[in-house]
Structure 1
Amino acid sequence: MSKRDYYEVLGVSKTSSEAEIKKAYRKKAIQFHPDKNPGDKQAEENFKEAAEAYEILSHPEKRQRYDQYGHAGVGGAAGGGFGGAGMSMEDIFSHFGDIFGGGGSFFGGGFGGGGRSSRRVNRGSNLRVKVKLTLKEIAEGVEKKIKVKKYVECKSCNGSGAKDGSSFSTCSSCNGSGHVTRIQNTILGQMQTSSTCPTCNGEGKIITNKCTSCAGEGIVRDEEVITINIPAGVAEGMQLSVSGRGNAARRGGVNGDLLILIQEEEHPELVRDENDLLYNLFISIPDSILGTAVEIPTIESKVKVKIDNGTQPGKILRLRGKGLPDVNGYGRGDLLVKINVWIPNNVSKEEKKILEKLQASESFTPKPSIHDKSFFKKVRNFFD
């Protein structure tokens, strides 16, 4: 099932400011919040969809990649789920502080849920890796297995940080809530503020006997082999995101993301120009005059192309559909072949006599021609 456009999900335009996007998300979150819609699965899906859209559009880099490449640039395709596709409800509620100024529930328990705990959810940091791809891999899409050094869950304590997995006590400062409330007297009256508990760092519990393998952190440094599926048509500098495959979080929180920076390996014969491929073909003077058949390299194999007699230097042959696929699925580029006539630097005496006779012939007198302006517009930076 294809994803809806993130701007459409939040009901905003592509030119909307960060403040407008934040306001639109707040409105959607209130409308579809699970506390307000108990048991409504569709409302819960809409709630998650709005959170995913906000996660992308509120982040300048992610929004830029989404505007340029669509869902393929920030997620959706494969490899464990890109972008925000893997968001859990805990992950969503952990980000509510900057939107609603408090915990996951902003209805005060008035909609049947009794309020949600505002305990802090730890989040692992993101990892960034570079992946080099050949043009063939870019054209077809590819599955890659990469070895990554990262923080993973401690096996000795299953990520809890406690030696026997149950060595915890409720934090006495916040009574297990993860936050402390203070009431201050001001000229406007009493003001109530809520903040993360400094004793337990918002976790609501204290480890009484730490795991010796991870020193109570719940994570250790290790290597992991990760399989990622890269969609066809990606480009140099494009960044993909695999949700939840970054560093593990301390004591059972939400894992970070794995960011994949695409790099292209240089092809020995073909040059990429967006979704088109460019190739310089050199033929001899006789072949240019009399015509010939030549083999042209493509990504998959070689194809035979006919060169008509009297072909002029600079002519462009277009092999339709022999370029690269669009990353968003909008067709495929072409292979553009520029004809160049090879002029030898040295000739023999016999060849020189033949050329001198040809030089005197009317057939070899240059005729004025009109340049193909569309060609110069297309490949002005490549074939100079």
Structure 2
Amino acid sequence: MATEIDYYEQLQVDRGCDGATLKSSYRKLAMQYHPDRNPGDAEAEAKFKAISEAYDVLKDPQKRAAYDRYGHAAFTNGGGNNAGGGGFAGAAFNDIGDIFETIFGGGNGGGFGGQQQRGPARGADLRYDMEITLEEAFHGQQTEIEIDVSVGCDECDGSGSEPGTGSRTCHTCHGHGKVRAQQGFFVVERTCATCQGRGEVIESPCHVCYGEGRVDKPQTLEVEIPAGVDTGTRIRLSGKGEAGARGAAPGDLYIFIHLKRHPIFERDGTTLFTRAPISFSVAALGGEITIPGLDGTKHDIRIPAGIQSGKQIRQRGAGMPVLRGRGHGDMVVQIDVETPTRLSKEQRQILRQFQETETGAESPQSEGFFSRLKDAWEDLTE
């Protein structure tokens, strides 16, 4: 019986190593023993295939967990069953599946489990966080972003195989992409851990992508930011995510929008809020203030005489545009009456003269408050 070399020993790493260490060691060894660098060296070719097989198992968390638990038996004859034997392979393996399907139904005439082998997995979706100003959200814009993302390998055209070579049928699942094992009275079907459900194994991995069929490259992408976006808005770029393994479809890229803090406005949906301090005299006599809008238009806000601090004035249609719709929200201006703190001698004299003429009717809220306060005090002292 041939001696099975430990996968960790083949890759010269510790059992507890992380994925980055594992990948680094594999690449170093793959470069060392690649057939292109060792033409005619059968020992180097065998070593290259062995480390490629070891990496194919250990780079996948599920396969690595199965290997850590069962060793090489996890990928032999259906792997790691606890029926006390060598698993279920060959004709007997299919017979059990046929009986299981006869009892429970299912299948589409595809043979093994009524299903064809699975293809390579679709690429992962990616996320990109973009921070923009409120003005950019108001107008919308077309911009460019740069990201590092995996794309199809040009050397092997995404196949993962060295040019001029191919793949072989997986010996574990016999090309079906799935394996079955008995657990007690039940037959459990799961994706083949050796070929990851593809039904085939690469004989000679590509020296550029190391069998992945994809490589990491910086990409420049154009992004259309529609007017009216807000924090949390998600923009989808179809097919711009991670490339699929060995020629499979790529995933999508999702742009998540975050708005920078604005020095004047706060936003709530399509409504813009701002605070405008006004002088005591404008609050008393009335007047007009000008607020510049995000569209560059100056909005004249009329201040009614006798306005109180905290009063809100709404300017219709001066807010944010409706995302992918028509119209705009409103601008809400909260008035803050500012008490003067630096008065000239003349201003103080004028205010004293005004104070001497006050009857209380000028400030009904103050008059009412102190009147109620007086009544409450008299009730307490009776």
Tell me if TM exceeds 0.5: yes
| Aligned match of 1:88 | none
TM-score by length of 2: 0.60
The CA distance in 2 between the partners of 1:165 and 1:368, in whole Å, is 94
Counterpart AA for 1:159: G
The CA distance in 2 between the partners of 1:297 and 1:185, in whole Å, is 73
SS in 2 for 1:234: coil
Higher Cα Rg: structure 1 or 2?
2
Is the 8 Å Cα contact of residues 154 and 218 (structure 1) preserved in structure 2?
A: yes
| Aligned match of 1:6 | none
Matched, 1:147 2:146: yes
Counterpart AA for 1:132: E
Q: How does 1:208-357 map to 2 (within 5 A)?
A: 208-301=203-296, 302-327=298-323, 329=325, 332-357=328-353
The CA distance in 2 between the partners of 1:323 and 1:165, in whole Å, is 62
The CA distance in 1 between the partners of 2:198 and 2:242, in whole Å, is 19
Counterpart AA for 1:300: D
Higher mean alpha-carbon deviation, 115-124 vs 293-302, is at: 115-124
The CA distance in 2 between the partners of 1:134 and 1:352, in whole Å, is 44
> Displacement, 1:340?
2.2
Is the 8 Å Cα contact of residues 239 and 253 (structure 2) preserved in structure 1?
A: yes
> Displacement, 1:124?
2.7
> Displacement, 1:269?
1.0
| Aligned match of 1:160 | 159
Q: Deviations over 1:238-266 (max 9, x none)?
A: 44443432222221223233232221111
| Aligned match of 1:37 | none
Higher mean alpha-carbon deviation, 153-162 vs 195-204, is at: 195-204
SS in 2 for 1:259: strand
The CA distance in 1 between the partners of 2:358 and 2:142, in whole Å, is 60
SS in 2 for 1:251: helix
Counterpart AA for 1:360: E
> Displacement, 1:221?
1.4
Higher mean alpha-carbon deviation, 278-287 vs 345-354, is at: 278-287
| Aligned match of 1:46 | none
| Aligned match of 2:108 | 109
Is the 8 Å Cα contact of residues 285 and 342 (structure 1) preserved in structure 2?
A: yes
The CA distance in 2 between the partners of 1:222 and 1:203, in whole Å, is 26
The CA distance in 2 between the partners of 1:350 and 1:185, in whole Å, is 98
The CA distance in 1 between the partners of 2:119 and 2:179, in whole Å, is 12
The CA distance in 1 between the partners of 2:274 and 2:260, in whole Å, is 16
The CA distance in 2 between the partners of 1:328 and 1:364, in whole Å, is 54
| Aligned match of 2:25 | none
The CA distance in 1 between the partners of 2:187 and 2:208, in whole Å, is 41
The CA distance in 1 between the partners of 2:154 and 2:183, in whole Å, is 49
Change beyond 3 A, Cα 1:186–1:359: closer
The CA distance in 1 between the partners of 2:316 and 2:240, in whole Å, is 39
Could you tell me the percent identity over the aligned residues?
Answer: 37
Is the 8 Å Cα contact of residues 178 and 200 (structure 1) preserved in structure 2?
A: yes
The CA distance in 2 between the partners of 1:236 and 1:253, in whole Å, is 33
Is the 8 Å Cα contact of residues 162 and 208 (structure 1) preserved in structure 2?
A: yes
The CA distance in 2 between the partners of 1:361 and 1:154, in whole Å, is 88
Higher mean alpha-carbon deviation, 161-170 vs 211-220, is at: 161-170
| Aligned match of 2:364 | 368
> Displacement, 1:215?
1.2
Is the 8 Å Cα contact of residues 317 and 338 (structure 1) preserved in structure 2?
A: yes
Q: Deviations over 1:63-120 (max 9, x none)?
A: xxxxxxxxxxxxxxxxxxxxxxxxxxxxxxxxxxxxxxx9xxx962279xxx762314
SS in 2 for 1:138: helix
The CA distance in 1 between the partners of 2:142 and 2:152, in whole Å, is 25
Counterpart AA for 1:119: R
Higher mean alpha-carbon deviation, 211-220 vs 304-313, is at: 304-313
The number of residues matched between the two structures is: 260
Counterpart AA for 2:193: P
The CA distance in 1 between the partners of 2:358 and 2:344, in whole Å, is 23
Is the 8 Å Cα contact of residues 316 and 336 (structure 1) preserved in structure 2?
A: yes
Counterpart AA for 1:347: L
Computed over aligned residues only, the root mean square deviation of the Cα atoms, in angstroms, reads 3.1
The CA distance in 2 between the partners of 1:332 and 1:123, in whole Å, is 40
Is the 8 Å Cα contact of residues 178 and 201 (structure 1) preserved in structure 2?
A: yes
Matched, 1:135 2:134: yes
Counterpart AA for 1:200: C
The CA distance in 1 between the partners of 2:188 and 2:313, in whole Å, is 71
The CA distance in 2 between the partners of 1:336 and 1:239, in whole Å, is 27
Counterpart AA for 2:217: D
Higher mean alpha-carbon deviation, 217-226 vs 279-288, is at: 279-288
Counterpart AA for 1:229: E
More helix by share: 2
SS in 2 for 1:137: helix
| Aligned match of 2:122 | 123
Structure 2 residue runs without a partner (length 5+):
1-100, 367-382
SS in 2 for 1:174: coil
The CA distance in 2 between the partners of 1:241 and 1:297, in whole Å, is 33
SS in 2 for 1:360: helix
Is the 8 Å Cα contact of residues 131 and 263 (structure 1) preserved in structure 2?
A: yes
Counterpart AA for 2:257: I
Higher mean alpha-carbon deviation, 360-369 vs 210-219, is at: 360-369
> Displacement, 1:153?
1.3
Is the 8 Å Cα contact of residues 269 and 297 (structure 1) preserved in structure 2?
A: no
